[in-house]
Copies of this chain bind each other. A is one copy, B any other.
Amino acid sequence: MTTLSEVARLAGVTSATVSNVLRQRGKVGEQTRLRVLEAVEQLGYRPHLTARALAEGRAPTLALMVSSIANPFYPEFALAAERAARAHGRFLIVCNTNDDPATGRAYLDQIAGTLSDGVLIMNANLPMDDLKKTEKRGAPVVLCMWEKPDAPPELPSIAVDFRAAGAIAGRHLIELGHRDIGALVGSKKNGIHAERYRGYLDACAEAGRKHAQERTRYIPDTVAAGYDATMAMLKEFPQLTAIFASNDLPALGAMNAIADMGLNVPRDISVIGITDIQWARLSRPALTTVAVPTDSAAEMSIELLLALINRSSKSPVMRVTATPELVRRASTAPPKKR
């Protein structure tokens, strides 16, 4: 490993000067600058980021806490977040909590404020208290995809208007003429997807209709759960002509279930999801869904986090992304005439 002072020695200057030329801090003569640069080149010197971090009192990394990077939505977010971080000279450490609060806490304890300057929280199943504690210890925390713009959380956050997304999905189904709709909610009753469902109910209300409780299933946010719930619901309510799913994963499961029952999407039953993950456009039929602005949410999250780190913003702040938009694909159509 080549160090600053080795470079300095070769260039016949002191390490402070080398540091100055490397950080482009003016006040360096043109010839010494050239001499230093040459020495750097010759020795193949690379700054030691850890040492620099310690001296500067700040880490070059940010952490992203996520329940599991293998969940199909997160990689897309992570990619965008990493890009945004890079654009600001930061590296991204990925922390999979596996939905286990203890794992998340361990991460927070170890890296927040030491290895990484701040942390992005994406659905990591961590109690607010733990998050506030790490914030108090000096490491800013940003909630990446808050679901309720009307109810700002106690921590800085980027919010997506998921209620609007739910309403858009509901409206689309209703406008197509659907009256018998089943709803798949990918969380507990008052869980994370509650707002999306509320939005769907808003759309029903707007249309002067009422959604019957029994036609709603609260399930895990997975393809398999969407599959099972759809099977069950279709058996109980064969008259359904459409399925509203609070997320793309259960929607995809619903499509599979419908296909396996020998029915056709969208001819017999329409399906709509929310998010617009990659698979949505690749499934057959391609899934109609309400696209959430993933990339800009990631960028906004990184920017807010950096602002907090630089103390140029004070918590709590909530910023709202652009409104989700309908993406019409092939899984929705008017209901069959009877």
Contacts and interface: CB of A to CB of B under 8 A. Distances in A.
B110 A49 contact: yes
Interface string A1-34: 1000000000000000000000000000000000
B82 A94 contact: yes
> Which of A46, A47, A95 gathers the greatest number of chain B CB atoms within 10 Å?
A46
Interface string A248-267: 00001001100110000000
A111 interface: yes
A60 interface: yes
A180 interface: no
A48 B138 CA distance: 13
A282 B109 contact: no
Interface stretch (A70-78, A140-148, A193-201, A317-325): A70-78
A223 B78 CA distance: 21
Contact of A47 (B44, B114, B138): B114
B46 A113 contact: yes
A50 interface: yes
Nearest to A55: B54
A284 interface: yes
Contacts of A111: 49, 91
A93 interface: yes
B69 A79 contact: yes
A123 interface: no
Interface in A78-99: 78-79, 82-83, 91-96
A282 B54 CA distance: 47
A301 to B, nearest CB: 16
Contacts of A109: 46
Nearest to A59: B50
Contacts of A95: 82, 91
Contact of A82 (B69, B75, B79, B256): B69
A151 interface: no
Contact of A113 (B1, B252, B255): B1
Contact of A91 (B115, B260, B278): B115
A53 interface: yes
Interface string A91-125: 11111100000000000011101110000000000
A97 B83 CA distance: 10
Contacts of A47: 114
A92 B68 CA distance: 14
A78 B66 CA distance: 13
B61 A54 contact: no
A237 interface: no
A82 B53 CA distance: 23
Contacts of A51: 54, 114
30 contacts: A44-B137, A46-B110, A46-B114, A46-B137, A49-B111, A49-B114, A50-B54, A50-B114, A61-B61, A61-B93, A68-B79, A69-B75, A69-B78, A69-B82, A70-B75, A70-B79, A79-B96, A82-B94, A82-B95, A91-B111, A91-B115, A92-B94, A93-B93, A94-B94, A255-B284, A256-B284, A259-B284, A279-B279, A279-B282, A284-B284
Closest 3 CB pairs of A and B: A49-B115, A49-B114, A75-B75
